[in-house]
């Protein structure tokens, strides 16, 4: 888990993702600057894939428009998960965060959005703040959100083959068969 200095333009509403927020202006454009926290779920060459830890203006999943079924509570090791009054049931079990630095704090309204995958380049300066103890919950939640996202996409496009492994898709299989007929000694 790390935090990074993050900026985003000011939209119609307020910022939902950062703590210690400051408003700045550059070339006539206003934007928020503050820290955003992420859980790394995968590493690749030159970048990593993460899910954000958000407080939603300290309203957790009670904030209008937030989909609680895509979220879970994150809380410091040694503490207990904190739920807000009238907060809907979330889709995933709470996870514990072991904080490496005792001065680092985590807001009690912190929620993980498992459906929002964010790529962060490895050359970005970040502050590592801790590790997730219940990482199996994070992996399962990200996978579940990804599967649901792809199923919804398939229903919208009518393409049930898009999420199959490449070698099982008809367009790739047909090409491989054609190539094999041209060169039967070619390895697949």
DSSP 50-67: EEEEE-TTTTGGGSTT--
Instruction: Report the pLDDT value the prediction gives residue 89, as an integer from 0 to 100.
Output: 97
Q: What does the block give as tokens for 103?
A: 């001065």
What does the chain come to in residues?
A: 188
Q: What does the block give as tokens for 161?
A: 């083959």
Cα 90 from chain centroid?
15
- The pLDDT of residue 63 is above 70: yes
Instruction: Report the pLDDT value the prediction gives residue 110, as an integer from 0 to 100.
Output: 97
Cα–Cα distances (Å) from 108 to 25, 58, 59, 66, in that order, read 30, 8, 10, 17
Instruction: Report the pLDDT value the prediction gives residue 167, as an integer from 0 to 100.
Output: 53
Cα 129 from chain centroid?
17
Instruction: Report the pLDDT value the prediction gives residue 33, as an integer from 0 to 100.
Output: 82
For the chain, give the percent of residues with pLDDT over 70: 72
C-beta of residue 112 within 8 angstroms of C-beta of residue 71: yes
pLDDT band at 188 (very low <50, low <70, confident <90, very high): very low
- The pLDDT of residue 172 is above 60: no
Find which of 11-20, 143-152, 178-187 is predicted with most confidence, using mean pLDDT.
143-152
For the ranges 25-39, 69-83, 162-176, the lowest mean pLDDT is seen at 162-176
From first CA to last CA, the distance across the chain in angstroms is 41
121: left (phi over 0), alpha (psi -120 to 50) or beta: beta
Closest CA to 34 of 50, 60, 55, 13: 55
C-beta of residue 87 within 8 angstroms of C-beta of residue 61: yes
pLDDT, tens digit, 9 for 90 and up, residues 100-134: 998 999 999 999 999 999 999 999 999 999 999 99
Instruction: Report the pLDDT value the prediction gives residue 99, as an integer from 0 to 100.
Output: 97
- The pLDDT of residue 15 is above 50: no
- Residue spans per domain, the chain: 2-158
């Amino acid at each position: 888990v790390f935090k990074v200095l993050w900026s985003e333009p000011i939209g119609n509403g307020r910022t939902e993702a950062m703590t210690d927020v400051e408003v700045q202006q550059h070339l006539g454009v206003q934007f928020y600057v503050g820290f955003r926290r992420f859980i790394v779920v995968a590493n690749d060459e030159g970048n990593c894939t993460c899910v954000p830890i958000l407080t939603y203006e300290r309203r957790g999943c009670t904030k209008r428009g937030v989909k609680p079924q895509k979220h879970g509570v994150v809380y410091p090791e040694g503490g207990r998960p904190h739920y807000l009054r009238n907060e809907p049931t979330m889709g995933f079990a709470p996870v514990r965060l072991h904080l490496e630095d005792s001065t680092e704090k985590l807001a009690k309204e912190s929620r993980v959005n498992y459906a929002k995958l964010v790529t962060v380049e490895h050359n970005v300066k970040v502050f590592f703040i801790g590790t997730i103890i219940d990482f199996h919950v994070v992996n399962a939640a990200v996978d579940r959100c990804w599967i649901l996202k792809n199923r919804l996409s398939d229903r919208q496009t009518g393409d049930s083959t898009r999420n199959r492994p490449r070698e099982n898709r008809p367009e790739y299989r047909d090409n491989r068969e054609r190539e094999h007929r041209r060169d039967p000694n070619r390895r697949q």
